[in-house]
Amino acid sequence: MNIFLDKKILIYGLGKSGLSAFNFLKNKSDIFLYDDYVSKIKSLDVKKKLINFKKISKINFDQIIISPGIDIHKCKLSKYLKKNYNKIYSDLDVFYSFFKNDCITITGTNGKSTTCQLMYKVLLDQKFDVKLVGNIGNPILSVKNVKKKSIFIIEASSYQLEYSKIFKSKYVAILNITPDHIERHKTLNNYVKAKFKLLKTQHRGNFAFVKRDDVLISKQLKLNKFGSKIIKVNTKKNNFLENIDNKYFFTETNRENLLFVLEISKKINVKNNLLINTIQKFNGLKYRQQVILKRKKLTIINDSKSTSFSSSIGLLKSNKNIYWLLGGIPKKGDKFNLQKKYFNNIRAFIYGKNIKFFRKNLNGKIDFENFKSLKDALSKILVIIKKEKFIDKTILFSPCAASFDSFKNFEDRGLYFNNLIKKYLNGIQ
């Protein structure tokens, strides 16, 4: 029985995922809509279905579909949602109720989008009917022309998984887990549990790919029994990498992402020659460890997507003479864990209002300077490197923090940095 057919359903949150849920369900159930910011809604179709705050408690809804970005502890319907928590579902649950397609669902603290994009390219080049959806930007319920053979590659965040109750995926990958989103999940244990929901709903004949040497993942595997086949991915060594000369995969993080794709590909029977060809051509995603300029002695990397220390570690290990730009809104409980042998290779240039946090983490480890803005910090770096013409050097923009103090999102921040480079260094190669 489909729990989203012919029901009274409240959809809370009218961003991309909420609107896609509405469009998908509007002819299948009696839909009501609510959003904390009604004034921003323009569509007449949506306005007709809006319900006000006072009426919500008077209607007995069968289900509540909640957008991932909504924190039930900090929203206008907080009391109501806590009281009706057993009725809360996600768009992933709706999808699973209507489609039983093979899914490759990828989660983890870092590397999700890149791994999903690479997996998508691999299958696309092998002529699979493949759909790329989820946290990467395409809501799963917005996909058209779904056939029986369609394979879904889903980027799943802890926010989505927290609210999901019935969603299942044949293939699951947990790339890594480090403390993240603690301000939302309250405890590290809650964050880890959200990720492992994907394994708990799997059964015999399903596959779960996990990082072998990840402390938090290993702990969960010891504490729990899972129905699926667990494949522990060795991210330290793989002979296949000897065939790859794409420099994009020379960093630790991107190499790990690639190794997961290789392990998953073994279970889907892809053709090896096409697989290698796809990997050799892969350029990654914008603002994610993206090399935006490479000259004789200078490399500039735009990693605006970085929102935690752990997401920057791979780049800090794999480049020479690093001038590191970081700043923004740090994540609660985030810690800088880099081996001592790398310290002398890095100089940090901290910008913005949260200097104290970064200073506390870097003090006694890495030399740093403080600046009011990203522009000021970059200007200082450019003055320094003019005097170092004959030394290999890297300007690394990897902020380790959220962007909302000065920018709309990480894309806006990344574009701003690119424009600064264009202005100061006569174009990006």
pLDDT tens track for 53-75: 999 999 999 999 999 999 999 99
**Contact indicator for 217, 194 with CB cutoff of 8 Å:** no
Does one domain contain both 259 and 378?
no
Once rounded to an integer, what is the mean pLDDT over residues 276-295? 92
Percent of the chain with pLDDT over 70: 99
What is the average per-residue pLDDT within 213-241?
93
Q: pLDDT at residue 49 above 90? A: yes
155/138 Cα distance (integer angstroms): 10
Rounded-to-integer distance, Cα 416 and Cα 135, Å: 23
Report the alpha-carbon distance of residue 398 to residue 306 in Å, rounded: 6
Say whether both 248 and 321 belong to one domain. no
Q: In terms of domains, do 213 and 297 share one?
A: no
pLDDT tens digit sequence for 1-48: 899 999 999 999 999 999 999 999 999 999 999 998 877 777 888 989
Question: Is the per-residue pLDDT at 427 higher than 80?
Answer: no
Residues 110 and 249 in one domain: yes
Query: Where is the domain boundary, 264, 281, 298?
Result: 281
- The verdict on 216 and 334 lying in the same domain is no
**CATH (domain of 385):** 3.90.190.20
Are 326 and 247 in a shared domain?
Answer: no
Per the structure, the complete domain to which residue 217 belongs is given by 100-281
pLDDT confidence tier of residue 429, bands split at 50, 70 and 90: very low
Q: Is the pLDDT of residue 329 over 90?
A: yes
Q: Is the pLDDT of residue 78 over 70?
A: yes
Task: Tell how strand 290-295 and strand 298-302 pair up.
Answer: antiparallel
Higher-confidence residue: 41 or 178?
178
Res. 196 pLDDT band, cuts 50 70 90: very high
d(CA 185, CA 179): 10
- Region 167-180: what's the mean pLDDT? 94
In a domain, 3, yes or no: no
pLDDT band at residue 269, thresholds of 50, 70 and 90?
confident
Q: Which of 191, 189, 173 is nearest to 181 (CA)?
A: 191
Q: For 348, phi and psi rounded to 5 degrees?
A: -100, 140
147 and 198 share one domain: yes
Q: What is the mean pLDDT of the chain?
A: 93
Residue 76, domain member (yes or no): yes
Residue 145 included in any domain = yes
Does residue 44 fall inside a structural domain? Answer: yes
In degrees, to the nearest 5, what angle opens at C-alpha 345 toward C-alphas 340 and 348? 95
110 and 50 in one domain?
Answer: no
The CATH number of residue 70's host domain is 3.40.50.720
- Of 203-207, 291-295, 368-372, where does mean pLDDT reach its minimum? 291-295
The owner of tokens 């394994």 is 199
**Pick from 225, 186, 227, 184: nearest CA to 204:** 227
Residue 95 lies in a domain: no
Q: Are 340 and 360 part of one and the same domain?
A: yes
Question: Do residue 240 and residue 220 come from a single domain?
Answer: yes
Please give the helix or strand (H or E) that residue 64 lies within, else none: strand 63-66
Percent of the chain with pLDDT over 90: 82
Last residue in a domain, options 47, 63, 89? 89
Sheet holding 290-295, edge to edge: 290-295, 298-302, 393-397, 322-327, 346-351, 367-371
Stated pTM of the model: 0.89
What is the enclosing helix (H) or strand (E) of 162?
Answer: helix 158-163
pLDDT at 428: 42
- Domains of the chain: total: 3
> Residue 129 maps to which CATH number?
3.40.1190.10
Residue 1 lies in a domain: no
Q: Look at residues 89, 116, 137 and tell me which one is the last residue of a structural domain.
A: 89
Per-residue model confidence (pLDDT) at position 426: 66
Q: Which two tokens stand for residue 114?
A: 């890149």
Q: Do the domain assignments include residue 94?
A: no
If asked whether residues 301 and 274 sit together in one domain, one would say: no
Confidence band for 239, pLDDT divided at 50, 70 and 90? confident
39 inside domain? yes
> What tens digit of pLDDT does each residue of 86-139 get?
999 999 999 999 999 999 999 999 999 999 999 999 999 999 999 999 988 899
Name all contacts of 145-148 with Cβ < 8 Å and 24+ positions apart: 146/99, 146/101, 148/101
Query: In Å, what is the CA distance from 15 to each residue of 38, 68, 346?
Result: 11, 10, 40
Query: Are 352 and 375 in the same domain?
Result: yes
